[in-house]
Structure 1
């Protein structure tokens, strides 16, 4: 079954370029286009795509507001399109439900792979860029610490998993770190997302920073002392 995609960008040349690249893939079907946030919401409701490429800056309604509406009302997974040096809104986009973001100058193969990755249920957490972005955003906000209700529901191993999600490790890297199988890692990740009511790994990474499990700039993050999660 093909991956259904909608491309939302107010720049026609950019939008058309993405459509041509994706439509040329045998497993991807571009089912709609949008040039502003309101059109993007309408397209999500009509076409019910698996993935939507969403520009952050658009007329009528920006991509962040559109993403929040789409993610709250549909199962569509959103990838934000941005230029890192100009847009300071990616953190808010991830919090609103986006599964990650892409720089507009990315390579053709990276665009195609990103759509496939997100359609499969993963998030775009690129350690070299995304972590730096989240760190910068967290530095501007107070870290509230882990809410008591989370300390009660997360096991010690799930808390470790959340830390590794914050470090943007892949399943294979997490398996090596925890000395378990990738299948076990997937189970831990699924449990963390379910217990914390998170949409995907992107939001889990943000939660790890917000709770103070990841200290901006630290090289080796561990669950802070004094936390006693459930061990069951």
Structure 2
């Protein structure tokens, strides 16, 4: 389901996603209140939620919708501060993508959260990791260092690049590996860290003092 108060934006996003065989657009809403009503009726697997909405904004709409419907929310916006990203994630959004992202990135965000994994626009990953990682003490740093030490050499390299905000493609190029191998390494890092997404990987790496310059 697509939620945006601009008709042209809704039409453009639907035009990007509709041709794909692995994505079906079931509804489109123009406001937060309308999104809640439509989600109750359509039960979409994923909701693309604009942050700046009239009346009930995307943050409140996300919080209200997720309290009533079993779905995943990907937040969308044209401009976003780290504070906005954090507030949307705290409201329950499981992904965040910029509207000026490439069409493939928008589809990737939908499919990623549909699989139960989190998606964050790479340009926001680093700043969010730094903010979240700063909220810890000596015990948190020691635990992060212990978890990081348990990784293999390749897993450590991949985890460091995740913390730096690199995409899978950039990591594959930097490590001279196939993208599928990179995904496997990152999955193993998630398992060993006991986390669900890349941002959480980055926070542990940052707390361990292992993020590359």
Question: TM exceeds 0.5?
Answer: yes
Partner of 1:190: 187
Q: CA RMSD in A?
A: 3.9
Query: Which is richer in helix?
Result: 2
Give CA deviations for 1:158-187 in whole Å, capped at 9, x if unaligned: 454332212222334434555665444323
Q: Distance in 2 between matches of 1:211 and 1:72?
A: 35
Range that drifts further, 163-172 or 61-70: 61-70
Q: Does 1:118 align with 2:109?
A: yes
Q: CA deviation at 1:26?
A: 4.2
SS state at 1:114 partner? helix
- CA contact 1:138–1:209 (8 Å) conserved in 2: no
Residue 99 of structure 1, aligned match among 92, 95, 101 = 95
Structure 2 unaligned residues grouped into runs of 5+: none
Distance 1:81 1:50 in 2: 16
In the TM superposition, what is the alpha-carbon distance from 1:46 to its structure 2 partner? 3.9
Task: Describe the SS at the equivalent of 2:44.
Answer: coil
Report what 1:49 is aligned to: 44
Unaligned ranges ≥5, structure 1: 1-5, 222-232
Partners of 1:212 and 1:42 in 2: how far apart?
Answer: 44
CA distance in 2, matches of 1:86, 1:9: 19
Compared with structure 1, are the counterparts of its residues 184 and 114 closer, same or farther at alpha carbon in structure 2 (3 Å cutoff)?
closer
CA distance in 1, matches of 2:160, 2:67: 25
Distance 1:86 1:190, change over 3 A: closer
Query: Given that residues 46 and 110 in structure 2 are in contact (C-alpha distance below 8 angstroms), is that contact kept between their aligned partners in structure 1?
Result: yes
Q: Could you say which residue in structure 2 is the equivalent of 1:130?
A: 124
Relative distance call for 1:11 and 1:182 in structure 2 (3 A) is closer
Distance 1:99 1:22 in 2: 17
Deviation of 1:152 after TM superposition, in Å, equals: 4.8
Please name the residue that 2:136 is paired with. Answer: 144
Q: Indicate the residue corresponding to 1:74 in structure 2.
A: 70
Check whether the contact 2:82–2:128 (CA below 8 A) recurs between aligned residues: no
* Superposition TM-score, scaled by structure 2 size: 0.67
Deviation at 1:134, TM superposition (A): 2.9
